[in-house]
Amino acid sequence: MTEGARTPEELEALFEDAFVLRDPGAVAPLFEARALLVARGGTGESRGSEEIAQSAAALWSRDLAYVAEPRRVIQAHDLAHARDKRRAPGRRRGLALRDLAAVNGPDEREAMSDNTTQTLDPVVVHRDEGEALWWFAALAVIRATAADTGGLMTIVEVTEPPGQEAPLHVHHREDEAFFILEGSATIHVGDQSFDVGPGDYAFGPRDIPHRYSIGPDGCRMLFICTPGGFENLVREMSLSAESRTLPPPSKEEPDWEHVAEANGCELLA
């Protein structure tokens, strides 16, 4: 987090103040190098603090305004999803990257809030499509991204080898669900453990420690993360898959602490 803002509300206030003052020098320090800000309807993206500041200045030159919409958030690096009005206070932590909208008046602001996702394009990803990555010992295929869904969710199809175990960790940004397609696993969430197989679903809420253990026949499952952005971590920690198969065995132990830090998680074991 920057020194200028410690909560999503503070970031929103500082960003809006910068718009009122039309001061690009006040915008850039609020965002990290990996920050991503999405314009209304997903029609434009600004990446990094300097580019975001330039985009803000471009809006000022057209005499347009900024409106924060908590349901349209693109997650990047260690910045967190904004607090949703439908959630209990205090569930979300960290800074927020909010939707950047060019609007002219309060009536259009209300329309944007009610119809945020209606401007998205339809997306179909067939079974042999999607970005394929070798993610540690797993094959990961990215099925839906934050860009596809207006920041609402990420879906990654993950194939794990028999006996694979994820370390105990806790997400402070996203809720994570598991839908089992093939094989079996044991999902551990808090003090509870669930044996799951094909067609089963398990939910791991944020702020509750969880991990999973893969059964003797391996497992193919969907990770469904809300809000979106989890695909950025998968890409950062992966290699492009040379084939849609499990990667060759590696003798190197994954740098789990780096994984946790990069994803805003807390590694517990």
Cα distance between residue 220 and residue 160, in whole Å: 6
Of all residues in the chain, what percent are helix, strand and coil, respectively (each to 5)? 25, 30, 45
Q: Are residues 62 and 156 in the same domain?
A: no
Cα distance between residue 44 and residue 181, in whole Å: 35
In a domain, 121, yes or no: no
Q: Which domain holds residue 53?
A: 8-116
Q: Which helix (H) or strand (E) holds 6?
A: none
| Sequence-ordered list of residues with C-beta below 8 angstroms from that of 16, at least 6 positions apart, any chain | 66, 68
- CATH number of the structural domain spanning residue 191: 2.60.120.10
- What is the full per-residue pLDDT of the chain (269 aa) written as tens digits? 344 555 666 676 777 777 667 777 778 887 777 677 766 544 467 777 788 888 777 776 665 555 544 433 333 333 333 333 333 333 222 223 333 333 233 443 343 344 444 478 899 999 999 999 999 899 999 999 999 998 999 999 999 999 999 989 888 889 999 999 999 999 999 999 999 999 999 999 999 999 999 999 999 999 999 999 889 888 888 899 999 999 998 877 766 666 656 556 777 86
166 within 8 A of 212, measured Cβ to Cβ: yes
Q: Are residues 112 and 135 in the same domain?
A: no
pTM of the shown model: 0.58
What tokens does 207 get? 């702020």
Domain count, the chain: 2
* Listed residues 61, 87, 116: the one ending a domain: 116
